[in-house]
Structure 1
Amino acid sequence: MPLWSPSANTPTAKVARATGGAVRVLSHQDTPALHKLLDADPVANVTVTAAVRQRGSAGPGKSRAGALILGVDGAQAGELQAACWLGSNVIPVGGDAADGELFGLAAGALRRRVSSIYGRAEPVLALFDATRWNNHREVRPNQPLMVITGAPAVEPLPGVRPSRMEENAEVERACAAMFTEELGFSPYQQGGAQYRDRIRGLIRSGHSLISVDEPSGQIIFKAEFGAVIDEVAQIQGVWVNPRWRGRGLAAPGMAAVVEYGLQLAPTVSLYVNSWNIPAVRTYERVGFRYDGAYATVLF
C-alpha cells in the first residue's frame, strides 16, 4: 500500500506499520475475546472493563477521536494475549513488558494527546518507554494495588454517606482541592466542563461519599468510586480536609467507604503512591492487602 494512499493513514494501517503487524485495532467481533481477557484480572482491569461493558463492544468509539482498543492475538484462534485501551488515558490490559512495548510503538504512531498511562506496572513502564514521549509531567513507577474483601478492621466513621446533587458545588471544591494537592495542577486546566460533568456523574450514580461537619457545612472527608463493575469497586480521591487532619479520621473514613463499597461489589480496591507512607499504613490498618503494583505516567 503506497504511503500516500488515504487508507495508509488510518489508525489500523498506522498501528500495523509501527508494530510489523503484531498489534491491530480491535473490532466488534473481538468483544467476547476481550471480555475473557478482562475477566482474568478484574481488579487491575476494572476501569477498562467498566468502559467496555458500558459501550458493549471492543470496536472503535463512534467519534473520530473516540477510544480505540488495541490487541495482540494469542496462540489460539479468537484469543487475545493482551489489549490496550487508547483514549484520553492509555491502559494496557494483560500481557507483559514485551506487549507493553508493542502498544507503546502503536500509541506513538497514532500521536494522540493523552492525560495519563496507567495500569499494571510492568507493561505500563515498557509502553511509556516505547512511545518516546517526552512531554510527561511525572512518572510514578510503583503504586501498590490493594484489595479488601471482608469487613474493615477499623470501626467506620459515623456519618459517611453518598453526596447529594444539591451539594455539588461543595463536592466539586473538595475534589478540585484534592486533585490540585495530589497532582500539582488544577483539574480545570484539562477541561473544566468535562471535569464538572465527571463530578456530577459520580454524585448521580451514588459513587461520591462525604462526611460533613454539620455546624460549618464543610466537607471534612470524601472519597469516590472511580470505576465499579459487578466484581470490583475501585476507590479514588481519598481526601481529609486540611483543617481536620491529625484527628484520626482517615482510617475510620476509609472503613466507612469499604463498608459502602462492599454493597456494590465483593471486592474493593485502590492504588496508592508508595511514597505516601501514612496512606499506605492507613489502608493496611483498615485491612487492605497487596495485589501487585500499578504505575502511572502523568502528562
Structure 2
Amino acid sequence: MPLWSPSANLQVRVARASGGQVRVLEDADTAALNTLLAADPVGTVSVAAAVSSRGTAAPGRGRTGALVLGIDQENAEANDQPELAAACWLGANIIPVCAGAQQAEAFGRVLAALRRRVSSIYGRSEPVLELFGTTGWGNHREIRAEQPLMVMTEEPQLEPLPGVRKSRIEEFAAVERACAAMFTEELGFSPYTQGTSQYRDRVRGLIQDGHSLIAVDPETRKIMFKAEFGAVTSQAVQVQGVWVHPQWRGRGLAAPGMAAVVRHGLKLAPKVSLYVNAYNTPALRAYERVGFSRAGSFSTVLF
C-alpha cells in the first residue's frame, strides 16, 4: 500500500471517493464527535482518549497527522450544526466509530482513495470487516475476526494478586523489556521494527501517566505480571498488554493479577474493558473468573 500523499483539497478527494457522503471533520465538529463517542464509551475508548488528548476533531499537522472522517445525520436541518451518524479515526491505526455496514463501506472507499499506510484496523467487528473488505487492500499479515469485547463495572470478588502497583520511572528498562516480550509473543514481531524511539516513548508515557501496572517477585526482582491501561477516559478504561513472565506461568497469577488491575481501573472510570482473541481460551477463562462479561465482538486486521 503506497504512502498517502496530502492534497491541498483533501475534502474534495474525500467527497469524490464517497459520493459526497463522507467529509473530514474540523474543529467545529469536536462537540458532535464527542457526543457520538459517548454513545459507545467502551467500544470507542481509544478514539475518545485520543480526541480528548488532542482537544479537537481537526486534522493533525503534517503528512501523517491523524484525521477523523465523518458522516452526517441525514435529517439535520440545513442551518444547524451537523450531527454525526458515524465517524472513522485515521492515524497509525484505523478505528470506525458507531458505523453500520453501509457507513463502513463508504469509509472504506475513502481509505482506498487516500492510500494511507497504517498498522492495523480494529474496533467493533461488523464495520471493521466491511471497511477492510471495501478497501481491497491485500497486503495484510493477519485477520483476527473474533475478539470478544469484555467489560466490568463492579469490584471483582476474586482476591487480587498482592503487590500489583503502578510502575516507577526508574523501572523503565525492566518494564520496557516486559512490554516488548509481550508484544513479540502476541504479534509475532518485535515492536522495535516500527520505530524504537516511538515505542520507548509510548512505554515511558504509560509509566508517567500511572497507567502501567506491575507485580515484582521479591526475591529475583523480576516482573512477574504486568498490564497497562492503553486508553483512559472519564467513562471507560481499556486494559492492554496483560502478560505473565514465562517463569511464573501455570501458577494461577493471571486471574488475581487482573482482579488487581480492575480495582485500579475502577478508580479511573466506571467501566474497565478489554478485548481478547477468541482462541485464547486460558485468558478468556481467567477474565471470566475475575467477573468480566461479554459486551460484543472486536476484529483486528494487522498489516
TM-score interval w.r.t. the shorter chain? over 0.9
Aligned counterpart, 1:11: 10
The answer to whether the aligner puts 1:64 opposite 2:68 as a matched pair is no
245, 263, 274: which is aligned to 1:241?
245
CA contact (8 A) 1:11 1:110 kept: no
Secondary structure in structure 2 of the residue aligned to 1:284: helix
Q: Take 2:268 and 2:227, find their aligned partners in 1: how far apart are those partners?
A: 15
Of residues 98-107 and 171-180 in structure 1, the stretch that sits farther from structure 2 once superposed is: 98-107
Q: 1:97: Cα distance to partner?
A: 1.2
- Please give the per-residue CA displacement for 1:93-143, whole angstroms capped at 9, x wherever unaligned: 002111111111111111111001001100000010111111111001111
Aligned counterpart, 2:79: none
The answer to whether the aligner puts 1:48 opposite 2:59 as a matched pair is no
Q: Take 1:63 and 1:232, find their aligned partners in 2: how far apart are those partners?
A: 30
Q: Take 1:143 and 1:255, find their aligned partners in 2: how far apart are those partners?
A: 21
- Please give the per-residue CA displacement for 1:179-198, whole angstroms capped at 9, x wherever unaligned: 00000000000111100000
Aligned counterpart, 2:164: 160
Aligned counterpart, 1:35: 34
> What RMSD, in angstroms, separates the aligned Cα atoms of the two structures?
1.3
> What is the aligned residue count?
294
Q: Take 1:200 and 1:56, find their aligned partners in 2: how far apart are those partners?
A: 22
Q: Take 1:232 and 1:244, find their aligned partners in 2: how far apart are those partners?
A: 30
187, 193, 207: which is aligned to 2:191?
187
Q: 1:75: Cα distance to partner?
A: 2.2
Of residues 288-297 and 71-80 in structure 1, the stretch that sits farther from structure 2 once superposed is: 71-80
Q: Give the residue type in structure 1 aligned to 2:142.
A: E
Q: Which runs of 5+ in 2 are unaligned?
A: 1-5, 77-81
Secondary structure in structure 1 of the residue aligned to 2:200: helix
285, 290, 302: which is aligned to 1:298?
302
Secondary structure in structure 2 of the residue aligned to 1:263: coil
Q: Which runs of 5+ in 1 are unaligned?
A: 1-6
Secondary structure in structure 1 of the residue aligned to 2:154: coil
- Please give the per-residue CA displacement for 1:138-177, whole angstroms capped at 9, x wherever unaligned: 0011111000011112100000000000100000000000
Secondary structure in structure 2 of the residue aligned to 1:151: coil
Secondary structure in structure 2 of the residue aligned to 1:14: helix
Q: Give the residue type in structure 2 aligned to 1:216.
A: T
Q: Take 1:154 and 1:8, find their aligned partners in 2: how far apart are those partners?
A: 54
Q: 1:9: Cα distance to partner?
A: 5.9
Q: Take 2:87 and 2:117, find their aligned partners in 1: how far apart are those partners?
A: 19
Aligned counterpart, 2:266: 262
Question: TM-score of the superposition, structure 1-length normalised?
Answer: 0.96
What's the % identity of the aligned pairs?
Answer: 65
215, 220, 232: which is aligned to 2:236?
232
Of residues 103-112 and 56-65 in structure 1, the stretch that sits farther from structure 2 once superposed is: 56-65
271, 277, 282: which is aligned to 1:273?
277
Aligned counterpart, 2:3: none
Q: Take 1:11 and 1:172, find their aligned partners in 2: how far apart are those partners?
A: 38
Q: 1:53: Cα distance to partner?
A: 1.2
Q: Give the residue type in structure 2 aligned to 1:36.
A: T
Secondary structure in structure 1 of the residue aligned to 2:299: strand
Task: Write the mapping of 1:39-188 to structure 2, written as runs, cut at 5 A.
Answer: 39-77=38-76, 78-188=82-192
Q: 1:8: Cα distance to partner?
A: 7.0
Structure 1 moving runs of 4+ over 2 Å: 7-11
Of residues 50-59 and 251-260 in structure 1, the stretch that sits farther from structure 2 once superposed is: 50-59
Secondary structure in structure 1 of the residue aligned to 2:163: coil
